[in-house]
Structure 1
Amino acid sequence: MTTEFAQDVERALTEAAGALRRRQHPDGYWKGDFETSLIGEAAEVMLRHFLGIRDEEATAATVKVLLAEQTPSGGWASYHKGPDELLLSTFCYVALRLAGCAPEEPALRAAARAVRANGGVEAIDNPTMLAWLALIGLWPWDDIPLIPPELVLLPPKAPGSIYRMGAAARGIVVANSLFMAGRPVTPASFGIEELYARPGGSARRLPRPRAVRAATALSHLYARHPVGFLRRRAMRKATRWLEDTQERDGGWGGNWPQTANVIVGLIAAGHRPDHPVVRSAIEALDQYVVHKDGRRRLEMWTSVVMDTALAVSAAAMTGDAGTRAAAHRAVPWLLDNQVTELGDWAVLTEDPVPGGWPYEFANDANPDSDDTAFAVAALRRLHPVGSDPAVDEACERASRWMLSQQCADGGWAAFEPLRWRLPGRDALARIGFLEAPSADITGHVLEALGADGRAGSPAARRGIRWLRDHQHPDGSWPGWWACYHLHGTSAAVTGLTACGVLGTDPAVARACDWIVAHQQDDGGWGEDIRALHDPAWIGKGDSTPSQTSWALLALIAAGRADGEPVRAGLDFLIRTQQDDGDWAEPWHTWVVHHDGLYWRDSMLRLVYPVMAMSAYLAATGAGERR
């Protein structure tokens, strides 16, 4: 390491730390812009049509955004530089028609061609999303497998129980079961014949396996002839369950999709729009609307806890007194937002102890292991064990909660232990109905346990063993919530080393070799969303600041701070830093559902480089001057 290079890193870190401080909210938290594709904006237009509450100003603003992001080929892409995506393009087209755009307009003619070129609307293979078209009369309900509300009557431990589903999907499943029972329609004033690839086409059975087709037929058979008293009891219980799980902000799950689905479900179950629960929920939808740079966008989720916890860690790692002071200002906010009540997760948890953190401002029903791990690691970077009673108590509860959520095989999923052992598990996991343990979540939890003094606990040892057992032969691990092997591998390495596994350990060494082998020519690292579906893209893509920083954090944690790959990666960060200390990162590198819903967060392109540069200076001793 040269003194000049260390000074360059320090200068870049000083500028980045300044940007980090400037982005802190007066209340202490940090929050970036959560940006997905335009599926939410399109769905909002469809929802307002269904409910009969069209907002002309909002609709006009949405039309402007939709047309601005239409691709040259006519459709809409679900991620930066991606191809036209069929479902998204269909939703955007329908939203524009609902907004009053004529099919003869050039933009809509191009969009229709793009849909047809991708197989036509009849090739959409996501029946859950097709239900949104059915709600406005553009797809037949008969072609959609129905979720029976009687599911809520099953005992919690029974196969098929809502408590054996992924926490992120549970509320949507219950809500969908309500509107699928009645199958309401607020018809659009047009059809979508021009979106079929075949001339004179119409809805046909989706390309689903025979078992799914049979389940669809059986679900409709039962829907036509339900057991009357069971159906009535199920509708009442499902409605009451949704009412009881409404969050303090009026929504459900702290996100737009679940809140929107619940509104439709309650309306279908007989609630009027002026019912207090529904009225507060409709009002809650406005909190997901963001006006920025003259544009109206919809944040489907609110990443405030994740952003705050990671920003606290980054600020604490800088060693700069002013930046660490900013981190300390966030501690009361983090402590206030810890979940201290029992929720859905407790139903099948033995001796449940609340103490996790959610992803959003309001989601007390379902905290998650990932954000809880981020929060514990952040708090411990500021307050080591025994230094602050309030932090000690919060971390004790959080750690106990994380341990209670460990899967039977030793890994961790984000929300709850995997409780599904039937065929089709992986397919259901890809669309969010279930969640299996993953390397990125397991690595993050191990990092938190190590920070909390629990590196030698039986749970940590089981987590380490899970990572060893699930490492791929090439040395990598696939992640789940971000793209893809790069995220899983870096999280696994930082988790293992936080729990005392040495950088010379064969598993860590092979992982670091894999990371180095996938460094780009510009010194950075990047992995394209296409890696989720095409193995040829694994570890490949345009270099990004956040992904480069993931790789650097892993290599530095493994004792490779003095290596040329680390210096080249840091040089990439220095070269690409903007004058304001931040970085540009238009790529979508995070994942909601593997089958088409991806996101980016404007905080993470800043937070991770601050971490990486701070870790480098600390590991090489250059940071002692700060």
Structure 2
Amino acid sequence: MTSTERGSYAAAVGLSAPLSTGFSQVRGAIDAATDHLLGLQKEAGHWVGELEADATLESDYILLQLWLYPPGPDGSWRPPTWERCLKAARSVLDRQTPTGGWNIFKGGPDNVSACVKAYTALKLVQLPGAEAALAKARRRTLELGGVEAANSYTKIYLSYFGLFDRDKTPTIPPEVFLLEAGSKINIYEISSWSRAILAPLAILGAKRASRQVPAGFGLDEIFSGIEPARPKLVSWKSFFLWADKSLKIWERIGLNGFRQRAIEAAEQWMVERFEKSDGLAAIFPSMMNSIMALTELGYGFDHPVLQRELERFDGLILEKGDRLKIQPCHSPVWDTAISSFALGIAHPQPSDKVRRALERAGEWLLSKEVREPGDWIVKNPGVEPGGWYFEFENEFYPDCDDTAKVLLAIETALPSQHRAWPAARERAIRWLASMQCRDGGWAAFDRDNDAEILTHVPFADHNAMLDPSCPDITGRAIEALCGPGRGRYREAIARGVRYLERVQQDDGSWYGRWGVNYIYGTCFALRGLRAAGEDPNEAYIIRAGEWLRSVQNSDGGWGETCGSYDDPQEKIYGASTPSQTAWALLGLFATGDYQTGSVVSGIRYLIETQNDDGSWDEELFTGTGFPSVFYLRYHYYRLYFPLMALGEYQRGRFTD
């Protein structure tokens, strides 16, 4: 459907669709969704859905096994985890596209880095009957530019096994861990996840770490022989490439004493952050890298530190029959906060069953409050710790998004006089307000982490070197600050509103950093603006509502693909999904729209696509890790966001 057709459709439904969907239908859908969600609550009181990513994680898992268990003296390779390697390889093969490659989101184009990793993993495992698939993958990888066109992290991993020229990979100097936090260049000027990913890689690079591959194994057949284009002679990218060459010369000179101190500093930084966490930063890439670094530093399989990190890594593995999948992390705080908030919205006068579930969830969330300083304190000193993280345990890395959502959720889930809640709320609100960036917005983990120059370093092609302010988190932070005690944060709220006004797109939408994409950003920007008391008749809010209605699909739902991060024109295309339909509706509700044909059609879409068990189906990826690089499918987004939308519609449409 073209944008013109969408606009015509929106106009048509606005005029001709029935102006209500019956209370009994809405209530029935809410009750069914509630029962389904309550059935998924864990005994401890939390929710945690599967978190799905692309096939690069299973490919990396196989490479990690080669690292941990190298080939025997005869060159053969059968690690003790061989059965798991076979299962992982089958999962990789399952996701090969009809064109022979691998993509990073369902329905997306083939991605050369994903292809290189998948091909390497499948060739290592040599699944019986996979020869034709490998041949097809080889052709597709070459069509995409071969190994030379892959990103820097893929090349770094291959270099550890002698499969890529190490001198053509970027140097990550561990000496940065010797620099003072207050110096102009230091590790806290890059995003928290980049710090955690790069620290172990700096150790591995400095130690010239390497492992053997099975006898006769190589990747020559997927090298195209075409080197990537050089950057402009006068550019920051070219400057950093020159600096990288200088670092390589410096490494060859070998100031060993200084280098050893740097390695030890990086090791200390890394090991300190193992404490009170699910692993280093509690995310797959840094956890995998840290395991590799520990083994290179001499930690044996009998060492308690390595044992613990391997156990935590194993916690990411899901085995189902003869298949194995890797989750990029766990999302219990996030899932529990949104589930609780959705239930609270849908049940303003909860039954005993719902009330007990909310209280259990609230107690569990309170047990996850951060009470110790983490990396954030470097750029935000003198603030009492507070807030929440995303995972089961990640004390060093609370984030503004989870903190805002938990504040909103517990306000709904627990009685205001609960013994521990008022003090925790006060700490969290103070912490959240203190994390506001100088531009008026909020980012995820740090304040003012926006030194654009660092996006040009050679290892910045994961497209997430920084953690700048974004509309989606800013909207949620404003919404949380507009709760009890909002008067103290009037200026912070006003600055956040001005930020949102300033970064709105020309078409009325907002960019979504952590969800796909403009529908997500627009939803949460509008919710923040409504909470702040902005007049829905303001031109910029009217424009946002018009944009949402203009991109509605003919089935009444909304959808947007991950491709909109690469080409914003793609924001007007995408099959309808329950989560994105819910976001669009929640955004429209924030403009005061509960009755137009667009809203009624969206509600009808949710009711008609609901399954008999109260759930919804959603196969597409609607979560964002690193835009253009890494996407996520949250398996519970299809459950709690539609429930939230139906609950808010019920309140706005049928409550006096």
Specify the TM-score bucket, using the shorter chain as the normaliser.
over 0.9
**Structure 2 unpaired stretches of 5+:** 1-17, 70-78, 232-236
Residue aligning to 2:7: none
Residue aligning to 1:82: 108
In structure 2, the CA distance between the partners of 1:434 and 1:494, relative to structure 1 (3 Å rule), is: same
What are the equivalent positions in structure 2 for 1:169-318 lying under 5 Å apart? 169-189=194-214, 190-197=217-224, 201=225, 204=227, 207=230, 209-248=237-276, 251-292=279-320, 295-318=323-346
Q: Secondary structure at the match of 1:538?
A: helix
Residue aligning to 2:620: 587
**What does the per-residue CA deviation read over 1:199-231, in whole Å, with 9 as the maximum and x for residues that have no partner?**
xx38x5675542343133122112212433321
Runs of 4+ in 1 over 4 A off after TM superposition: 1-4, 101-104, 204-209, 426-430
TM-score, normalised to structure 2, is: 0.90
In structure 2, the CA distance between the partners of 1:80 and 1:104, relative to structure 1 (3 Å rule), is: closer
Question: How big is the shift at 1:103?
Answer: 11
Q: Secondary structure at the match of 1:253?
A: helix
Residue aligning to 1:566: 599
TM-score, normalised to structure 1, is: 0.94
Give me the whole-angstrom Cα distance separating, in 2, the residues matched to 1:501 and 1:573: 28
**What does the per-residue CA deviation read over 1:503-552, in whole Å, with 9 as the maximum and x for residues that have no partner?**
22222221111111111111111111110001220232111100010010
Residue aligning to 1:66: 92
**What does the per-residue CA deviation read over 1:250-299, in whole Å, with 9 as the maximum and x for residues that have no partner?**
62112221111112223333433433212221222110011346632111
Question: How big is the shift at 1:249?
Answer: 5.5
Question: How big is the shift at 1:475?
Answer: 1.2
Q: Are the aligned partners of 2:278 and 2:391 in contact in 1 as well (CA < 8 Å)? A: no
Give me the whole-angstrom Cα distance separating, in 1, the residues matched to 2:625 and 2:280: 17
Residue aligning to 2:5: none
Q: Are the aligned partners of 1:377 and 1:452 in contact in 2 as well (CA < 8 Å)? A: no
Residue aligning to 1:163: 188
Select which of 391, 394, 398 maps to 1:367: 398
**What does the per-residue CA deviation read over 1:39-58, in whole Å, with 9 as the maximum and x for residues that have no partner?**
11110110110111550110
In structure 2, the CA distance between the partners of 1:389 and 1:458, relative to structure 1 (3 Å rule), is: farther
In structure 2, the CA distance between the partners of 1:392 and 1:569, relative to structure 1 (3 Å rule), is: same
Q: Secondary structure at the match of 1:92?
A: helix
Question: How big is the shift at 1:324?
Answer: 3.6
Residue aligning to 1:41: 58
Give me the whole-angstrom Cα distance separating, in 1, the residues matched to 2:133 and 2:213: 20
Select which of 484, 499, 502 maps to 2:535: 502
Question: How big is the shift at 1:389?
Answer: 4.0
Q: Secondary structure at the match of 1:290?
A: strand
Give me the whole-angstrom Cα distance separating, in 2, the residues matched to 1:207 and 1:598: 28
In structure 2, the CA distance between the partners of 1:337 and 1:595, relative to structure 1 (3 Å rule), is: same
Q: Are the aligned partners of 2:454 and 2:465 in contact in 1 as well (CA < 8 Å)? A: no
Higher mean C-alpha displacement, 133-142 vs 347-356: 347-356
Residue aligning to 2:563: 530
Give me the whole-angstrom Cα distance separating, in 1, the residues matched to 2:444 and 2:383: 17
In structure 2, the CA distance between the partners of 1:39 and 1:4, relative to structure 1 (3 Å rule), is: closer
Residue aligning to 1:350: 381
Identity across aligned pairs (percent)?
Answer: 34
Q: Are the aligned partners of 1:46 and 1:136 in contact in 2 as well (CA < 8 Å)? A: no
Q: Counterpart of 1:79 in structure 2: which amino acid?
A: F
**What does the per-residue CA deviation read over 1:184-210, in whole Å, with 9 as the maximum and x for residues that have no partner?**
11132311111123xxx38x5675542
Question: How big is the shift at 1:430?
Answer: 5.8
- Quick one: higher RCO (CA 8 Å, sep 6+), 1 or 2? 2
Select which of 17, 35, 46 maps to 2:34: 17
Give me the whole-angstrom Cα distance separating, in 2, the residues matched to 1:315 and 1:172: 36
Q: Counterpart of 1:146 in structure 2: which amino acid?
A: T
Question: How big is the shift at 1:102?
Answer: 8.0
1:437 aligns with 2:469: yes
1:598 aligns with 2:631: yes
Q: Counterpart of 2:143 in structure 1: which amino acid?
A: A
Question: How big is the shift at 1:168?
Answer: 1.5
Q: Are the aligned partners of 1:339 and 1:367 in contact in 2 as well (CA < 8 Å)? A: yes
1:613 aligns with 2:646: yes
In structure 2, the CA distance between the partners of 1:13 and 1:350, relative to structure 1 (3 Å rule), is: same
In structure 2, the CA distance between the partners of 1:355 and 1:70, relative to structure 1 (3 Å rule), is: same
Equivalenced residue count is: 617
Residue aligning to 2:517: 484
Residue aligning to 2:551: 518
Q: Are the aligned partners of 1:145 and 1:219 in contact in 2 as well (CA < 8 Å)? A: no
Q: Secondary structure at the match of 2:505?
A: coil
Give me the whole-angstrom Cα distance separating, in 2, the residues matched to 1:304 and 1:276: 26
**What does the per-residue CA deviation read over 1:291-329, in whole Å, with 9 as the maximum and x for residues that have no partner?**
346632111111111100000001111114233431221
Give me the whole-angstrom Cα distance separating, in 2, the residues matched to 1:144 and 1:29: 43
Residue aligning to 1:475: 508
Higher mean C-alpha displacement, 206-215 vs 336-345: 206-215
Give me the whole-angstrom Cα distance separating, in 2, the residues matched to 1:616 and 1:250: 38
Q: Counterpart of 2:399 in structure 1: which amino acid?
A: D
Q: Counterpart of 1:390 in structure 2: which amino acid?
A: A
